[in-house]
Chain A
Amino acid sequence: MSQPIVKIENVVKRYRELVALDHFNLQIEEGEIFGLLGPNGSGKTTTINCILSLLTYDKGSIQVFGKEMRPDSYESKRQIGVIMQNVAVFDELTVYENIDYFCGLYIRDKKTRRQYVEEAVEFVGLQDFSRFYPKKLSGGLLRRLNIACGIAHKPRLIIMDEPTVAVDPQSRNKILEGIEDLNKQGATIIYTTHYMEEAEQICSRIAIMDKGRNLALGTKEELKQMIKKSEGISIEILNLEERHIAELRALKHVYEVRYANHHLEVLCSGGAHNLSRVLEYLQKEELPFGRVYSELPTLNDVFLEITGKELRD
Chain B
Amino acid sequence: MFLHCFGYGIKNLLRSRDYLFWSLGFSIILATLFHVAFGDLSKGEGFIPIPTAVVLEESCPQPLKDVLDTLGEPGDGQLLEIQYASQEEAESLLKGKKVSGILFVGENVSLSVSGDMTYDKLNQSILQSLAESLHGSYEAVSEAAARSPEKLPQILAALQKDAAHNQEINYAGRNLDEGLTYFFNLIAMTCLTGSTAGAVTAAASQANLSELGKRKSVTPGKKQVRILAEVAATILMQFFAVSISVVYMWAVLGVDLGSSAGYVLLTVLAGSMAGVSGGFFAGCIGKSSIHVKIGVLMAITMLCSFFSGLMVGGMKLLVQRYAPWFNRINPAALISDSLYSLAVYESHTRFFQCIGGLFIISALFILAGAAMVRRQRYASL
- Please judge, given known A-B contacts A54-B378, A55-B377, A56-B379, whether A101 and B8 are in contact too, CB under 8 Å: yes
Of B12, B220, B381, the contact of A93 (CB 8 Å cutoff): B12
In the bound complex, CA of A72 to CA of B226 (Å)? 14
Q: Would you give the 0/1 interface string for B63-77, flagging 1 where the beta carbon is closer than 8 Å to chain A?
A: 000000000000000
Flag if A88 contacts B218 (CB, 8 Å): no
Flag if B207 contacts A54 (CB, 8 Å): yes
Q: Does A84 contact B (CB under 8 A)?
A: yes
Q: Does B212 contact A (CB under 8 A)?
A: yes
Flag if B215 contacts A97 (CB, 8 Å): no
Flag if B379 contacts A93 (CB, 8 Å): no
Flag if A77 contacts B219 (CB, 8 Å): yes
Q: Does A102 contact B (CB under 8 A)?
A: yes
Flag if A55 contacts B378 (CB, 8 Å): yes
Flag if A75 contacts B220 (CB, 8 Å): yes
Flag if B219 contacts A71 (CB, 8 Å): no
In the bound complex, CA of A217 to CA of B207 (Å)? 30
Q: Would you give the 0/1 interface string for B213-255, flagging 1 where the beta carbon is closer than 8 Å to chain A?
A: 0111111110000100000000000000000000000000000
Flag if B377 contacts A82 (CB, 8 Å): no
- Please judge, given known A-B contacts A55-B378, A102-B219, A105-B221, whether A87 and B207 are in contact too, CB under 8 Å: no
Chain B residues with Cβ below 8 Å from A255 are none
- Please judge, given known A-B contacts A84-B215, A93-B8, A105-B220, whether A55 and B15 are in contact too, CB under 8 Å: no
Chain B residues with Cβ below 8 Å from A54 are 207, 214, 217-218, 377-378, 381
Flag if B11 contacts A105 (CB, 8 Å): no
Task: Report the nearest A residue to B223, measured CB to CB.
Answer: A71
Interface residues of A in 118-161 (CB under 8 A from B): 149-150
Task: Report the nearest B residue to A108, measured CB to CB.
Answer: B1
Report B219 CB to chain A, min CB distance, Å. 4
Q: Does B289 contact A (CB under 8 A)?
A: no
In the bound complex, CA of A80 to CA of B4 (Å)? 20
Flag if B221 contacts A74 (CB, 8 Å): yes
Flag if A88 contacts B214 (CB, 8 Å): yes
Flag if A77 contacts B212 (CB, 8 Å): no
Interface residues of B in 8-29 (CB under 8 A from A): 8, 11-16
Task: Report the nearest A residue to B19, measured CB to CB.
Answer: A92
Q: Would you give the 0/1 interface string for B341-381, flagging 1 where the beta carbon is closer than 8 Å to chain A?
A: 00000000000000000000000000000000000111111
Report A273 CB to chain B, min CB distance, Å. 52
Q: Does A8 contact B (CB under 8 A)?
A: no
Q: Does A281 contact B (CB under 8 A)?
A: no
Chain A residues with Cβ below 8 Å from B178 are none
- Please judge, given known A-B contacts A82-B215, A87-B211, whether A15 and B380 are in contact too, CB under 8 Å: yes
Flag if A90 contacts B212 (CB, 8 Å): yes
- Please judge, given known A-B contacts A77-B219, A77-B220, whether A56 and B378 are in contact too, CB under 8 Å: yes
Task: Report the nearest B residue to A87, measured CB to CB.
Answer: B211
Q: Does A253 contact B (CB under 8 A)?
A: no
Task: Report the nearest A residue to B226, measured CB to CB.
Answer: A105
Greatest chain A CB density within 10 A among B1, B377, B381 is at: B377
Chain B residues with Cβ below 8 Å from A105 are 1, 4-5, 216, 219-221, 226
Q: Does A106 contact B (CB under 8 A)?
A: yes
Of A56, A77, A89, A108, the contact of B218 (CB 8 Å cutoff): A77
Task: Report the nearest B residue to A78, measured CB to CB.
Answer: B220
Flag if A84 contacts B211 (CB, 8 Å): yes
Chain A residues with Cβ below 8 Å from B220 are 74-75, 77-78, 105-106
| Sample (9) of A-B pairs whose CB atoms are under 8 Å apart | A49-B381, A54-B214, A54-B381, A56-B377, A92-B13, A92-B16, A93-B8, A105-B219, A105-B220
A residues with a Cβ closer than 8 A to B are 15, 49, 52-56, 71-72, 74-75, 77-78, 80, 82, 84, 86-90, 92-93, 97, 101-102, 104-106, 108, 149-150
B residues with a Cβ closer than 8 A to A are 1, 4-5, 8, 11-16, 207, 210-212, 214-221, 226, 376-381
